[in-house]
Amino acid sequence: MSQALPLHSARTIAVLAVTQIISWGTSFDMLGIMGRVIAPDLGLPNEVVFSGLTIMMLVSALSGPASGRLLKRHGAAKVLACASLIFALGLLILAGATGLVVYALAWIVIGIGGALGLSAPAYTAVIEREGLNGKRVIAILMLFTGLSATVFWPALAALDALIGWRATFVACAGLQVFVCLPLYLFGLPKPAPTREQAQAADIAPVAMSDAERRRAFLYMAAATSISSFVSFGLAPTLLALLRASGASPALALQLGSARGALGVTARFVDMVLGRRGNAVITSVIGTALTLVSFLVAAAFIGSSPALVVFMILYGFGTGVLAVARALLPLSLFSPKDYGLQAARLSLPQNLANAVAPVVFTALLDRAGATAALGVGALLSALSLGCILMLLVLVRRAEQREAGYSVTARSLTSVR
């Protein structure tokens, strides 16, 4: 039976759930509704308008390491508050855009806001307040953050019909300034660790040499970037992949819709596990499920039962991996270093995310479903290999540490 959340933890979840839904909904998710609305007025093709997301992801990737340093120096609340102002500025520039140059500038600004305000900084805010106990809180928070499109797509469509797209972007900027900014500054609980928590925040969970920790970080970065490339790359082409694999339009829509529910279920399971969960083991399980899903779909191409199995395995696997990617830095680094390391990991992940949809779309259109599934399987196998190497390093360090402890006890007993 899981314990009730403390009041300060529930407050942290409430503040970050609201602000992350708003921040994702007024940035990355926004063009899903507004892209084809603004393209004619700007005189730009749809593909150019949607390239704003690529600009955002690239800028966020390149800004990631700097945001990590800011998180470590100033704390998450101040960084998130700055992100609200930067998001608002980008949205106001977008509202005033009349052509390509100003439109691209707006997405550059929004990309900087993304590096300071999306995912890693929010999870850092949790770890600052919860320490290693933040695993459960992050898992609960991620149940809500996946709802941003569900909340904002109908809201944006209604606002656009009522006041037009430019005023809609001004309203979105207002949400950042008048909702997110005060919540970050005054709504988040203050980090108030006990002496034991403060001491634990400086202690890494595994004792490694600097060389081992660098190697482990590289394995982690490779595994998470590859898995993110696969899940992010397939997301916009999933329905097309299912139809190319033999699903009817109705079945493809049903399976594609089921993926969201499966992902939420996976996150709920991880939340129930709470502090007992191990992000490295969870990553192994999630990556293995994803790999098997591709192999099943590729081996039985055109089979509806195989596609159902594919979606169950793929939806649950990618849902598990979404939580694991957020928690993996805590497997190697102290809570105090979480923000810096999570932001460092965001660089390769966001670079992968920026190009993945283009790669998978071209692969599916030019080489077909079997080739796309085969590449998905190959990349999942590479990611699994990297995470297994990370697991070996962690286990070796744990065994060495356990051996030191046994030796120390033996020496003490001899004395």
* Same domain membership, residue 191 and residue 210: no
H/E run at residue 247: none
Q: Are 284 and 384 in contact (CB under 8 A)?
A: yes
Query: Which token pair is 357?
Result: 């949809």
Instruction: Give pLDDT tens digits for 127-184.
Output: 888 876 777 788 788 878 777 877 888 899 999 999 999 999 999 999 999 999 999 9
CB count in 10 Å sphere of residue 98: 10
* Other beta carbons within 10 Å of 407: 10
Please indicate, yes or no, whether residues 275 and 308 belong to a single structural domain of this protein. Answer: yes
Overall number of domains in the chain = 2
Question: Is residue 1 situated within a structural domain?
Answer: no
- Both tokens of 311, joined, read 């979606």
pLDDT at 94: 97
The per-residue pLDDT for 340 is 82
Q: Are residues 388 and 402 in the same domain?
A: yes
- Select from 130, 164, 199 the last residue of a domain: 199
Are 152 and 214 part of one and the same domain? no
The closest alpha carbon to 280, from 414, 394, 185, belongs to 394
Is 254 part of a structural domain of the chain?
yes
- Where a domain ends, among 146, 177, 199? 199
Query: Is the domain of 194 the same as that of 211?
Result: no
Mean pLDDT on 282-293: 92
Residue range(s) defining the domain that contains residue 298: 204-411
What is the rounded CA–CA span in Å between residue 92 and residue 29? 17
| Dihedral of alpha carbons 225, 227, 232, 236, sign | positive
SS3 labels along 351-397: HHHHHHHHHHHHHHHHHCHHHHHHHHHHHHHHHHHHHHHHHHHHHHH
Length of the chain: 415
Whole-prediction pTM: 0.78
Cα separation, 125 vs 19, in Å, equals 12
Residue range 17-57, pLDDT digits in tens:
999 999 999 998 888 789 889 999 999 988 788 888 889 98
| 3-class DSSP assignment, residue 119 | coil
**119 and 75 part of one domain:** yes
The answer on 381 and 288 residing in a single domain is yes
What dihedral do alpha carbons 143, 149, 154, 160 form, nearest 10°? Answer: 140
Q: Whole-angstrom Cα distance, residue 81 to residue 183?
A: 9
pLDDT band with cut points at 50, 70 and 90 for residue 1: very low
Same domain, 39 and 122: yes
- Asked if 266 and 323 touch (Cβ cutoff 8 Å), the reply is yes
Compare 6 and 216 and report the one with higher pLDDT.
Answer: 216
- Within 8 A by CB and 6+ apart from 327, the residues are 135, 138, 139, 277, 279, 282
Question: Identity (one letter) of the amino acid at 254?
Answer: Q
For 146-237, where are the alpha helices, taking DSSP H only? 148-163, 165-175, 181-182, 195-201, 210-234
* Contact of 318 with 310, CB cutoff 8 Å: no
Burial of 205: CB neighbours in 10 Å, binned 0-12, 13-18, 19+: middle
pLDDT digits (tens, 9 = 90+) for 66-124: 998 999 899 999 999 999 999 999 999 999 999 999 999 999 999 999 999 998 899 99
Residue-level pLDDT at 255: 81
Q: Is residue 2 part of a domain?
A: no
Give the orientation angle of helix 338-367 with respect to helix 46-74, to 10 degrees: 160
Average pLDDT score, the chain:
85
The DSSP secondary structure of 333-351, one letter per residue, reads S-GGGHHHHHHHHHHHHHH
Q: Does the residue 93 lie in any domain?
A: yes
Instruction: Please check whether residues 161 and 254 belong to one and the same domain.
Output: no
Question: Based on the domain organization, do 183 and 318 belong to the same domain?
Answer: no
Residue 251 and residue 214 share a domain: yes
Q: Ramachandran region of residue 360, left (φ > 0), alpha (ψ -120 to 50) or beta?
A: alpha
CATH number of the domain enclosing 287: 1.20.1250.20
Asked whether residue 321 is domain-assigned, the answer is yes
Point out the domain boundary residue: 199, 228, 248: 199
Residue 181 maps to a domain: yes
- Decide if 351 is inside a domain: yes
Res 288 pLDDT > 60:
yes
141 and 279 share a domain? no
**Mean pLDDT score, 394-402:** 79
- Report pLDDT digits (tens) over 191-212: 856 544 554 555 556 777 788 8
pLDDT recorded at residue 252: 81
